[in-house]
């Protein structure tokens, strides 16, 4: 980390389209702002369960709003999210635990690939509507992100290991400790104080707190 860079942690799960928006904006600003951006793959299901949160789309009026909101935001930020009403059911029915363990295993072994790999999972889940819980889709995502097939295969074998499971669990618990109840959860460390920002629409406040 550079001298005096503000550490900014991004806790995310690829199941969340808002996390994708927040991720892309922070990726674009990581070399403009004086920040040390740290990707923290976590498990949204674990956060929801621990905090008693419910998927926002369970409220019909809010679900209606989310469809319009995500469409506007994806256009504004140029992030290719394709979202339809059917996706709410798809999200509830799809386990991203495997994908988040896969990203965690990469974070532990080849951290330089975390950014392209995470983006690839979001692309597949939110643009191409693939089932990213399938091993062949995880391997394809890894290949697209630049990993060799040997490494990708090893990583796939790692996802059932206690080390990877524990790391994902610990990261998720850390997010909860900071006060997270959903995703994305962005934590900026300013003068030894953690500042939590929820969602992808608080980034100008983040900028203000870190002096940008």
Active site residues: 16
Residues 6+ apart with CB under 8 A from 37: 8, 10, 26, 27, 30
Q: For tokens 């495997």, name the residue.
A: 98
Distance, in Å, from the CA atom of 123 to the CA atom of 185, rounded to the nearest integer, reads 20
State the distance between the two ends of the chain, measured CA to CA, in whole angstroms: 18
From the number of C-beta atoms within 10 Å of its C-beta (0-12, 13-18, 19+), residue 193 rates as exposed
Cis peptide before 184 (omega within 30 of 0): yes
How far, CA to CA in Å, does 183 sit from each of 13, 23, 44, 76, 139? 7, 11, 7, 20, 25
Residue indicated by tokens 């460390």: 189
Phi/psi for 197 (5° steps) reads -125, 125
Q: Whole-angstrom Cα distance, residue 58 to residue 67?
A: 13
């Amino acid at each position: 980390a550079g001298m005096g860079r503000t550490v900014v942690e991004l806790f995310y799960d690829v199941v969340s389209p808002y996390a994708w928006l927040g991720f892309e904006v922070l990726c674009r600003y990581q070399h403009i702002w004086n920040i040390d951006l740290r990707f923290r793959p976590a498990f949204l299901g674990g956060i929801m369960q621990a905090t008693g949160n419910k998927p926002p789309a369970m409220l019909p009026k809010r679900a209606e709003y989310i469809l319009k909101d995500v469409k506007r935001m994806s256009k504004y930020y140029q992030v290719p999210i394709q979202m339809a009403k059917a996706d709410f059911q798809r999200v509830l029915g799809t386990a991203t635990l495997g994908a988040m363990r896969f990203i965690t295993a990469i974070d532990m072994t080849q951290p330089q690939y975390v950014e392209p790999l995470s983006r690839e999972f979001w692309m597949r889940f939110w643009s191409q509507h693939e089932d990213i819980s399938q091993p062949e889709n995880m391997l394809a995502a890894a290949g697209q992100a630049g990993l060799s097939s040997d490494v990708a295969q090893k990583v796939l074998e790692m996802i059932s290991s206690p080390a990877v499971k524990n790391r994902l669990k610990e990261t998720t618990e850390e997010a909860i400790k900071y006060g997270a109840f959903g995703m994305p959860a962005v934590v900026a460390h300013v003068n030894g104080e953690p500042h939590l920002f929820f969602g992808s629409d608080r980034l100008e406040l983040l900028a203000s707190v870190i002096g940008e």
